[in-house]
Chain A
Amino acid sequence: MAVSFSNFCCLRRLLISSTSCSRAYLSGFKSNLSLDKLYPTSRLDITTIPKAPESKDGKFSGYIPMDKIQVNYVRSGGPGGQNVNCVSTKTEVRFHLASADWIPEPIRVKLAERVKNQISKEGYFIVKSERTRSQQLNLADTLDKLRNLIHSVAQSLVVPEVSEETLERQRRLRERAARERLKEKRAHSMTKQGRQSPTLDS
């Protein structure tokens, strides 16, 4: 039989009002190892939802707003009998790429070019995954793919600042490589000429 402690009239149960602050725990008992002693500077609040990091200055923050994308679940392909025929485990994430302001403009343009085969006629970019047997895990995979794609596009846009010394060094190395190649070429040419039978002119 389940024990219901609320029936005991002699129990002193301290209920701290949570309207003013959300405490992580409300029990009356506090030992020397309670969370407020382990983390004295913490607010001890698991309910706080941090502000989403903004994608500004042309850099993608990694945050994908779930209200700006559409998620569809469809049936996957391949073998699997009743499970694959009935359960919608394939996850599709789509959004209108041109109007996606959560992706910075330069990245959006480059992305449109890179994935032009995965953009529909109406301009919706579609990312799919049917990697696992679970909808939720496939959704996580889809978002992972999308995030990695956007990050790699952002990375390709970043032009690294090269110092003058490096440019100078690269120029010298290229010229040296060319010189060596021509030297070898000439030496090889002499070898081949040396194999020819001598003529009266030479």
Chain B
Amino acid sequence: MAGVGNRVLAGTDRALDLLRELPRLSLSNIRSNPKAFKRNKRGRGQHGGKKHGAGNKGSGQRQNFMRLGYETGNNPFYLRVPKEPYYKGHHIRREYPPISLMQLQTLIDTGRLDTSKPIDLTALCNTKLFQLSPFENQYGFQLTDEGLDNFKGRINIEVQYAPEQVIAAIEKNGGVITTAFYDAPSLIAMRDPMKFFASGTPIPKRQMPPENAVEYYTDPKNRGYLADPDLVALERFKLAQKYGYELPDLKKDPELLPMMLERKDPRQIFFGLNPGWLVNLKDKKIFEPEDEQLLEYYRS
């Protein structure tokens, strides 16, 4: 122990004093022992070393190469297969996996689909019988006319495409059909809502259809979600005349009417949930944005 007066200090005390004065130890004030690692002495040559990766003699070392793809005279790979105009833009084409009316009727009969609520893409994906892959250019489901004659269900259904006779079959039974567009991020949210909510992302707003689809979704003949409902009513009547059935009056069933008329806003993805809301399943809470700018964005 050091004496208070004379400061005759032992080795440890001197070391401790030094520690108090020296700067903190960091990577910038230490160095490894000499000869701990070998320094690369051969640093010359910008692309590394003697031959610069060009090998010995020949066209290679002399940098006299043939054009890329050339196969010294025989038909090169990139020219062997001809270009076909029929597949132009195939990677951009939208796909709609089919669901037949027969399958739909079976689902209703076996109770896999709840007809007391509107049926949309989420309801169809929740049956776990249909897969949708937005990453493979699939933009939703289409209804096919297989089982047209035997379809008896009364439903409010929203699909992405339906031919005329299918629309007739659904409306004949007192149902309502709408065709709607969903963009890829919306589809990813819709096909597995639980997974989407678990990701902690706010519900996105649905985008408008691309240019070549706007005409389809604004046409009342196709029951587009952007079409004028009054014109849709007229088309319902015309289709009933075309396919030979008495158009059922939806107002006759006042208990079912709200469900039948239920529709999403063009920017909405889930029934009852607005874009911008954040759903916390674990704590069973929904967080809404309060900032005016955010609200304006989600409403626009």
Interface residues of A (CB under 8 A from B): 1-3, 5-6, 8-11, 13, 15, 18-19, 22-35, 38-39, 42-50, 62-64, 66-67, 71, 89, 93, 134-137, 139-140, 142-144
Interface flags for B22-43 (1: CB within 8 Å of A; 0: not) read 0000000000000000000000
Chain B residues contacting A11 (CB-CB under 8 Å) are 272-273, 286
From known contacts A22-B257, A29-B274, infer whether A47 and B242 are also in contact, taking CB-CB under 8 Å: no
Q: Which of A10, A43, A50 contacts B286 (CB 8 A)?
A: A10
A29, A49, A63, A64: the one within 8 Å of B268 (CB): A29
* Chain A contacts for B247, CB-based, 8 A: 49
Instruction: Specify which chain B residues have a CB less than 8 angstroms from the CB of A136 in the assembled complex.
Output: 148-149, 165, 168-169, 243
Contact A24–B244 (Cβ < 8 Å): no
Q: Which residues from 19 to 70 on chain B have a C-beta closer than 8 Å to any C-beta of chain A?
A: none
B254 near A19 with CB under 8 A, answer: yes
Q: Which of B254, B266, B274 is in CB contact (< 8 Å) with A33?
A: B266
Known A8-B284, A43-B230, A135-B149; judge A71-B265 contact (CB<8 A). no
A26, B262: Cβ atoms under 8 Å? yes
B261 A23 Cβ-Cβ under 8 A: yes
The 6 A-B pairs of least Cβ separation, nearest first, read A25-B263, A31-B267, A24-B229, A2-B126, A29-B274, A135-B149
Quick one: which of A22, A35, A93, A136 has the most chain B CB within 10 A? Answer: A136
A-B contact pairs, 28 of them (CB 8 A): A2-B126, A3-B122, A5-B273, A10-B286, A11-B286, A18-B254, A22-B261, A24-B229, A24-B263, A27-B264, A29-B267, A29-B268, A31-B275, A32-B299, A32-B300, A33-B267, A42-B229, A43-B229, A44-B230, A46-B176, A46-B230, A46-B232, A64-B241, A66-B246, A67-B246, A71-B244, A89-B149, A93-B244
A31 x B261 contact (CB < 8 A): no
* CB-nearest residue of chain A to B285: A10
Across the interface, which residues of A come within 8 angstroms of B267, CB to CB?
29, 31, 33
Residue of B nearest to A73 (CB): B149
CB-defined contacts of B273 to chain A, threshold 8 Å:
5, 11
Inter-chain contacts of B208 with A (CB < 8 A): 33
Report the minimal beta-carbon distance from A91 to chain B, rounded to whole angstroms.
Answer: 9
Q: A5-B270, A46-B236, A139-B243 are in contact. Are A25 and B250 (CB under 8 A)?
A: no
Chain B residues with CB under 8 Å of A27's CB are 262-265, 268, 271-272
Shortest distance from the beta carbon of A33 to any chain B beta carbon, whole Å: 4
Across-interface contacts of B241 in A (CB, < 8 A)? 62-64, 143
Of all chain B residues, the one with the shortest Cβ separation from A11 is B272
| Interface residue range, chain B | 35 or more
B272 near A46 with CB under 8 A, answer no
Residues of A within 8 A of B237 (CB): 49-50
* B245 touches A (CB below 8 Å): yes
A196 to chain B, nearest CB (A): 71
Apart from A8-B286, A143-B242, 14 more pairs, CB < 8 Å = A3-B194, A18-B258, A24-B261, A25-B261, A26-B263, A27-B262, A27-B264, A31-B266, A31-B299, A46-B176, A46-B229, A49-B233, A62-B241, A137-B148
Q: Is B13 positioned at the interface, with any CB of A under 8 Å from its CB?
A: no
* Chain B 260-297 per-residue mask, 1 if CB under 8 angstroms from chain A, else 0: 01111111101111110000000011100000000000
B243 touches A140 (CB 8 A): yes
In the complex, the chain A residue whose C-beta lies closest to that of B205 is A31
* Inter-chain contact A10/B284, CB cutoff 8 Å: yes
Residue of chain A at shortest CB distance from B168: A136
The interface residues of chain B lying within 8 Å CB-to-CB of A89 are 149
Question: Is B242 a contact partner of A45 (Cβ separation < 8 A)?
Answer: no
User: Which chain A residue shows the least CB distance to B112?
Assistant: A2
For A31, what are the chain B residues with a Cβ–Cβ distance below 8 Å? 205, 265-268, 275, 298-300
Residue of B122, B145, B262 most packed against chain A (CB within 10 A): B262
State in angstroms the CA–CA spacing of A13 and B103 once bound together: 32
Interchain CB contact under 8 A, A140 and B244: yes
Smallest CB-CB separation from B258: which chain A residue?
Answer: A18
CB distance from A136 to the nearest CB of B (A): 5
**Which residues of A sit under 8 angstroms from B265, Cβ to Cβ?**
25, 27, 29-31, 33-34
Check if A15 sits within 8 Å of B258, measured CB to CB.
Answer: yes
A39-B228, A64-B241, A137-B148 are contacts. A25–B266 as well, Cβ < 8 Å?
Answer: no
The one of B165, B234, B272 that contacts A137, using a Cβ cutoff of 8 Å? B165
CB neighbours (8 Å) of A18 from chain B are: 254, 257-258, 261
Instruction: Please give, as numbers and ranges, the residues of chain A lying within 8 Å of B123 by CB-CB distance.
Output: 2
The answer to whether B244 and A66 have CB atoms under 8 Å apart is yes
Interface centre among B194, B247, B266 (most CB of A within 10 A): B266
